[in-house]
Structure 1
Amino acid sequence: MTYQPLFILAVLFMLVFVSEWLCKHTFLKHISSSLLVIILGAIVANLELIPSASDSSPIYEGIFKYVAPASIFFLLLGVNLKELRKAGIPMLVAFVLGSVGTMIGVIVALNMIDYEMIFGANSAAIAGMMTGTYTGGSANFNAVALHYEVFREGAVYTGVVVADNIVTAIWMVITLTIPIVMQKVRPHTSILSDDNHDSELERETESVGPMSLAIILFIGTGVLFLSNFLSDWLSGSGVNIPSILILTTIALVLAQFKIIQAIPGAKLLGMFAIYLFLAVVGAFCEIGALIEVGSNALDIFLFTTIIVLIHGLFLLLCGTLLKSDWSIIAIASQANIGGPSTALALAKSVKRNDLILPAILAGSLGAGLGTYLGFLVAGLLGA
């Protein structure tokens, strides 16, 4: 089926509107807009009203490449660096523990399925791919997959990719509920910065004129271009620094200037960009494509589910023993499973502005660490 780009954009915009309206005017007001937009995205994609992962649109690629990083930039403009002192170390500790939980989950999952029959000679490589992607996002998955040429095994590779997309979307929904549920089951003191406030009303009433909108968009797109340019230039010189780290650094520097803080519109643009990103995350939750993989579809889905469940249970256990802030545990887990963009989205969704920067730093760490751990696991298993 051919989808027109303008139609896809129109549907995505409508999903954002509907999720916000439902949260304000119906019994769903107790569910966050972030959760609703993922669910709605999954529904319309599985009804084939918009493309899903298997027939992905350039619109989706643009959202992943430009809109998600832009959301990080705009939201970081409201970050005070003192927030890192309280939450930075606990977040990084939780993130590292989550990475350990992922590796344990991969080993357990391999032993709970007939991996030699399902994955054949690619078993070790796929274990490395899953270690990488559930340590810091899909970039690590692709790095390991390309090295071992797993993509040549079309059905298996497709099955793993689809299962990964589905589980990642489901886990985003689960991590949205972890701080609420665990705080009732096992109350822990939250680490909050002095200026952590609910910006929901502020972003709703923010007055944005054409001039301020133009200047904030100019700054955002300009910095996004500059960070990509510098990353490519440094890479050509033999220094590999992800563009997201350059973007984060520039945003944090700019955020300390009052003249930048005074420009309205950044919070509004940041949240809207996050909603678009999460709608696409939902659209990638493609049930039909997994079924089409064939007889091994259920085993592949079980394999990915076990990895994430073990990761989550291990991290919750560590959080219980360490009496960690449950929001930090949830966001660190999301940094492992989804990467910096979904970790930031979760921090905003649970209204923890003080955890925005730690979430991005943890996710950025995972973007580098995940590849190394992926190759380590693959190598240890004989790839």
Structure 2
Amino acid sequence: MTFFKADDTWALWTILIAWAAVSIYLEQKYNWAAKISGAIIALLGALILANLKIIPTDAPVYDAVWGYIVPLAVPLLLFKADLKKIWKESGRTFLAFNIGAVGTILGAFIACFLLSKFIPEIHKAAAMMTGSYIGGGVNFVAMSEAFKASKNQVNALIVADNLNMAIYFMILMAIPASSFFKKHYGHPYEDAVEKQDKASAGSEGQNKAASYWGRKEISLLDIAEALGMTFVIVFLSVKFCAWVNATNVSPVIKSILGQKYFVITTLTVVLATLFPKFLGEIRGAQEIGTFMIYIFFVVIGAPADLKVIILNSPILLVLCLIMVIVNMLVTFSVGKLLKFNVEELCIASNANIGGPTTAAAMAIAKGWTELVLPAMLVGVWGYVIGNYLGIFTGNILGKLFGM
């Protein structure tokens, strides 16, 4: 039993939105919180509330966030995603991201060979985590449906995944300041931030997150255009996907054009590329979209019941851990050979494991403003390819283990 019940709608909405606001406040007011990032604070806060039995681990309100808030946030965050800029501004990060995706798949294979005797239907878990650790939560859900995973396996894996992500994001935040990585990798973005910090030393100023999200001139028309456009884009995308899924087209076409996040992303990017002046100059879209994503971060922390992990999910936590470690090793070792900067590799690995929003949040928290858009763009690319690579991995592993 929890203090607030699953059907206590107003209370749960209040907690989600209020804690998202508190997370942003802490991130912008305190340097320790900025280093952790508001995204992690939002996730950990929900984890604590859930484990103290204050909020439930499952509720219709959480489903509403998944079903409405997240789809509406995606276009808002992509209004500046002009394809002409993608190739110019995210080229190296894009390559690093795809190297990390290979690491995720390799990690899935290694984890299955090591743990197949301990996890029933391990290929389904591997498929879900491959989709998630290349794309994001939407790919995880898609893989769970594609492989018809049991609800118990899905819930246990969500818990293990959320805890694992929170730990890994903290590690990634610490890596750029590590003497080992500074010695063996280039770090131009960190150097620029340190130089800027020294230049502003002694003056009263805001931390990096507060500076990035500082007040901007915004009009009622900006808000109207931002929300109006994102609702239109999501509406058209959802209706189009429903129409595709209702037709007798091939399963391959349905797997692409019947996926709402693929269509939402594609439509937004096309519009942003064709009309960069209109969409790119709408003020407030990124701020509204980011606040929606912070609400989502609170939601993904809620299912992380530590008691469930201890009793039912420890071996699944190991599976997630192996996949993340291999992703990190492949990303940073190949990145070293190709002379990538440590910041690019951290952003790429973050985008693999957590998706575009956590990667962008890290770039903002670290003051790497030039990497914010690449972080968002490569993370969205993960949404696109996550399902395909998850299905490929699950099918191959299913055949290898005779399932």
TM-score category, normalised to shorter length: 0.7 to 0.9
The change in CA–CA distance for 1:83 and 1:263 in structure 2 (over 3 A counts) is closer
Q: In 1, distance between residues paired with 2:90 and 2:238?
A: 26
Q: Which deviates further from its counterpart, 178-187 or 233-242?
A: 178-187
Whole-Å Cα distance in 1 between the matches of residues 110 and 378 of structure 2?
A: 30
Q: Give the TM-score normalised by the residue count of structure 2.
A: 0.78
1:171-230, Cα deviation, whole Å (9 max, x unpaired): 344344445547634332669xxxxxx895464312444443233212111111111112
Partner of 1:194: none
1:195 matched residue in structure 2? none
| Inter-partner Cα distance in structure 2 for 1:291 and 1:305 | 15
Q: Across the two proteins, how many residue pairs are aligned to each other?
A: 367
- Report Cα offsets for 1:92-117 as digits up to 9, x if no partner: 4323322322233233334544x42x
Matching residue within 67, 73, 76 for 1:74: 76
Confirm whether residue 16 of structure 1 aligns to residue 16 of structure 2. Answer: no
Counterparts of 1:173 and 1:157, CA distance in 2: 25
Residue in 2 that maps onto 1:361: 381
Q: Which amino acid aligns with 2:233?
A: V
Q: Does the CA-based 8 Å contact 1:8-1:50 persist in structure 2?
A: yes
Distance in 2, matches of 1:263 and 1:135, equals: 30
- Could you list the per-position Cα deviations for residues 57-112 of structure 1 after superposition, in whole angstroms to 9, with x for gaps in the alignment? 22222222222232221122133433312344433432332232223323333454
| Counterpart residue number, 2:184 | 186
Describe the SS at the equivalent of 1:135.
coil
Displacement over 6 Å in runs of 4+: none
Question: Which residue of 196, 221, 229 corresponds with 2:231?
Answer: 221
2:353 paired residue among 333, 337, 362? 337
Going from structure 1 to structure 2, the CA distance change for 1:265 and 1:127 (only over 3 Å counts) comes to closer
Q: Distance in 2 between matches of 1:282 and 1:61?
A: 13
| Superposed counterparts of 1:285-296, under 5 Å | 285-293=304-312
Partner of 2:327: 311
Letter in structure 2 aligned against 1:96? N
State which drifts further: 215-224 or 129-138: 129-138
**AA matched with 1:62:** A
Indicate whether 1:35 and 2:44 are aligned. Answer: no
Alignment-derived partner of residue 283 in structure 1: 302
Match of 1:233 among 229, 240, 243: 243
Unaligned stretches of 5+ residues in structure 1: 192-197
Report the CA distance shift for 1:141/1:354 in structure 2 as closer, same or farther (over 3 A): closer
Equivalent-residue separation in structure 1 for 2:109 and 2:242 (angstroms)? 36
Q: Is the 8 A contact 1:132 1:373 kept in 2?
A: no
Residue 248 of structure 1 pairs with residue 268 of structure 2: no
State the alpha-carbon separation in 1 of the partners of residues 319 and 105 from structure 2. Answer: 13
Check whether the contact 2:223–2:284 (CA below 8 A) recurs between aligned residues.
yes
Question: Matched residue of 1:204: which SS?
Answer: coil
Distance change >3 Å, CA 342–CA 284, structure 1 → 2? farther
Distance 1:284-1:184 versus aligned 2 partners, 3 A rule: farther
Q: Aligned in 2, Cα 1:342/1:61: closer, same or farther, shift over 3 Å?
A: farther
Structure 1 position 378 matched with structure 2 position 398: yes
CA apart distance, 1:340: 4.7
Deviation at 1:260, TM superposition (A): 3.5
Please give the root-mean-square deviation of Cα atoms over the aligned residues, in Å.
3.1
Name the structure 1 match of 2:161: 164
| Structure 1 Cα separation of the partners of residues 129 and 33 of structure 2 | 35
Paired residue for 1:119? 119
Is residue 105–residue 307 contact of structure 1 (8 Å, CA) maintained in 2?
yes
Q: Which amino acid aligns with 1:10?
A: T
Identity %: 27
TM-score (ref. length: structure 1) = 0.82
Report the equivalent of 2:109.
107
Instruction: Tell me the secondary structure at the aligned position of residue 229 of structure 1.
Output: helix
